[in-house]
């Protein structure tokens, strides 16, 4: 079936719409192959490629990409989700609340719009696994781009409390401040006690991508009923998830956050140009 679809869409051609997925590192990303599969299934002549860009080169690279006339969108992964906001002229509410974006789109007027699907994808992934965040106590470890987006969506989904921890304490404080402007008292800087009462603990740092990475949170402090979620995509079963499972804790893999986003990406990128 896949080969029939590819044969029906001779891509790339001079008419093919281009999309980039930027990050550093980039080898771990799954989105390009999933988005390209969806493009093919929908009969859309478009292709997405992964692009490895260091933070030092990000501004110059985005400037070049945004000057390519047939490039319509850019997906963004670590560590660029905060910095890319400066390269868009329109910020969606999720971007304004989280301070981070994971998708940029060229609109029909040539201006660039920023959106963030990490948080909504994460919450949808929880629901698909029969976990409702409403009324829950949550601890979030990692207040970077993805973590901030997840925090925003969890607050929007009605969590009772959200405790945030980050090695950059000022970054955690800034995120808590933004969230509390939206809903007073929704978020706090995490204390050790917050781990003990958490219904859900979210690991939203890059730790776990390498096998030698330390565990990013204290599993011994968690209640036996806590769900441990990790947003790292590769490996699917990180050291944290394996250690949590060994303690009898329920676990939630990073793919559950990505899978709901694929159709969101395609709708976001293509919808504005096909309406």
E strands within the chain? 17-23, 46-52, 71-76, 90-91, 103-106, 112-115, 137-141, 161-165, 187-189, 200-203, 227-230, 250-252
Using one digit for the tens of pLDDT, what is the confidence trace for 174-191? 999 999 999 999 999 999
By CB atoms closer than 10 A (0-12, 13-18, 19+), residue 173 is middle
Which pTM value belongs to this model? 0.82
pLDDT band at 266 (very low <50, low <70, confident <90, very high): confident
CATH class of 2-117+259-274: alpha beta
At residue 90, the pLDDT reads 97
Using one digit for the tens of pLDDT, what is the confidence trace for 103-141? 999 999 999 999 999 999 999 999 999 999 999 999 999
Given a contact cutoff of 8 angstroms between Cβ atoms, the answer to whether 75 and 114 are in contact is no
Which helix or strand (DSSP H or E) is residue 243 part of? helix 239-246
37 is catalytic: no
At residue 272, the pLDDT reads 53
Q: Do the first three CATH levels of 2-117+259-274 and 119-257 match, i.e. the same topology? A: yes
* Prior bond of 25 cis (ω within 30°): yes
At residue 5, the pLDDT reads 47
Give CATH superfamily name and number for 119-257: NAD(P)-binding Rossmann-like Domain (3.40.50.720)
pLDDT band at 1 (very low <50, low <70, confident <90, very high): very low
Given a contact cutoff of 8 angstroms between Cβ atoms, the answer to whether 118 and 257 are in contact is yes
Catalytic residue among 81, 136, 178, 256: 81
The domain ranges of the chain are 2-117+259-274, 119-257
């Amino acid at each position: 079936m896949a080969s029939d679809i590819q044969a029906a869409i001779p891509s790339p051609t001079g008419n093919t719409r281009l999309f980039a997925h930027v990050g550093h590192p980039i080898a771990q990303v799954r989105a390009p192959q999933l988005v390209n599969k969806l493009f093919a299934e929908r009969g859309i002549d478009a292709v997405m490629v992964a692009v490895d860009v260091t933070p030092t080169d990000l501004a110059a690279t985005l400037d070049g990409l945004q000057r390519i006339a047939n490039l319509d969108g850019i997906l963004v992964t670590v560590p660029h989700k905060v910095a890319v906001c400066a390269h868009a002229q329109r910020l969606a509410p999720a971007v304004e609340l989280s301070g981070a974006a994971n998708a940029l789109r060229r609109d029909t007027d040539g201006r660039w719009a920023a959106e963030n699907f990490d948080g909504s994808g994460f919450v949808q992934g929880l629901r698909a696994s029969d976990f409702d965040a409403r009324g829950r106590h949550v601890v979030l470890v990692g207040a970077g781009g993805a973590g901030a987006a997840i925090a925003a969506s969890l607050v929007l989904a009605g969590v009772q409390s959200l405790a945030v921890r980050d090695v950059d304490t000022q970054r955690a404080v800034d995120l808590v401040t933004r969230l509390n402007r939206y809903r007073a008292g929704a978020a706090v800087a995490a204390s050790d006690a917050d781990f003990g009462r958490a219904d859900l603990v979210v690991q939203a740092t890059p730790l776990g991508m390498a096998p030698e990475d330390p565990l990013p949170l204290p599993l011994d402090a968690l209640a036996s009923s806590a769900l441990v979620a990790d947003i790292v995509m590769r490996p699917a079963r990180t050291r944290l998830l394996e250690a949590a499972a060994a303690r009898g804790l329920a676990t939630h893999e990073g793919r559950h956050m990505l899978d709901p986003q694929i159709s969101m990406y395609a709708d976001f990128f293509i919808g504005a140009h096909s309406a």
